[in-house]
Amino acid sequence: MLSGYDEEEKCKIAVRFLVPKQLSANGLAKSNLQIAPRVLRSIVNRYTDEAGLRNLERCIATICRKVARRVAEGELQGFKLKQHGDLVEFLGPARRKEGRALGRDSIGAATALAWTASGGEILQVECTAMRGKGRLIMTGQLGEILKESVQAAMSYARSRAAELALDESLFEETDFHIHLPEGAIPKDGPSAGIALALALISASTKRAVRHDVALTGEITLRGQVLAVGGIKEKIMAARRNRIPTVLPPRENQPDAAQVPESALRDIELVFVQDMDQVLRRALREPTRGARQRETRTGKGAPPSRA
């Protein structure tokens, strides 16, 4: 896959080239318009969805034209764009929603990192367990590769039932529903594999997933974590959404060299090679009540009723 400009690169290019170019094109001096770096970052993240710079320059040009008109009409001599809210006046409502990071630890919900043509994104993976007949339900416009990852995650979880203190009958008497929100958007690829397995195991054991961890990696039936693409973009997506810990495959460790040092200061990278490492880092310890049930019955907590 071809890598586009990341957020940091776009902002630097805007400061050095795009803003001066559009100021000159619209007859403005530097004193007439100043755009704060945080505002440029908001334009990149909320008003553009691209690997390149075309829409970013269009947004800057729109702002310059509107300021130039006000200067020509004598309405103002200089303007400083300092806050995100100022952009609505010039560019209208944001065209792109920011990713929704989990706000708290949750049972059956994990944050995956995905690659798109315009960069990295976070993707919520949800799993719920209901009394049933062992069905596996998948919703959210999953592609064939992603469906195979769900099947692999389920097989891995079932094969580890004893180690996870789960009775094998749980999988025969329970329906599992895997859902990836924003169902209007097609999703595919193997890189959500370990996040799917984590969400499924969390729903089975009733142990919460840490909200401050994001994951990417393909899973095998034996629980090995395989390398995936777009590591740089995915790490930058985690940073943009203020997720402090990322679990990428160990095989991708050389790819981390592509990430700007400024971004790595805000992110802890924990490279993993199997699901045991993922579970230790991303799953909370069982609650006191769950531990007592496991001690009495030798089983995990029962699934919730539909």
> Hey, how many other C-beta atoms are within 10 angstroms of the C-beta on 107?
19
**Rg of the Cα trace of the chain?**
23
Query: Got the DSSP string for 143-167?
Result: -HHHHHHHHHHHHHHHHTTTTTT--
- Which of 55, 64, 51 is closest to 21 using CA atoms? 64
For tokens 């940073």, the residue is 239
Q: Which of 187, 206, 232, 234 is catalytic?
A: 234
Q: Is 140 left (phi over 0), alpha (psi -120 to 50) or beta?
A: left
- Which of 216, 111, 128 is closest to 178 using CA atoms? 128
Q: Which of 191, 202, 204, 206 is catalytic?
A: 191
Mark whether 106 is an active-site residue: no
Contact partners, residue 229, CB within 8 Å, separation at least 6: 1, 115, 191
Q: State how beta strands 225-226 and 174-179 pair.
A: unpaired
Mark whether 155 is an active-site residue: no
Residues marked as catalytic = 191, 234
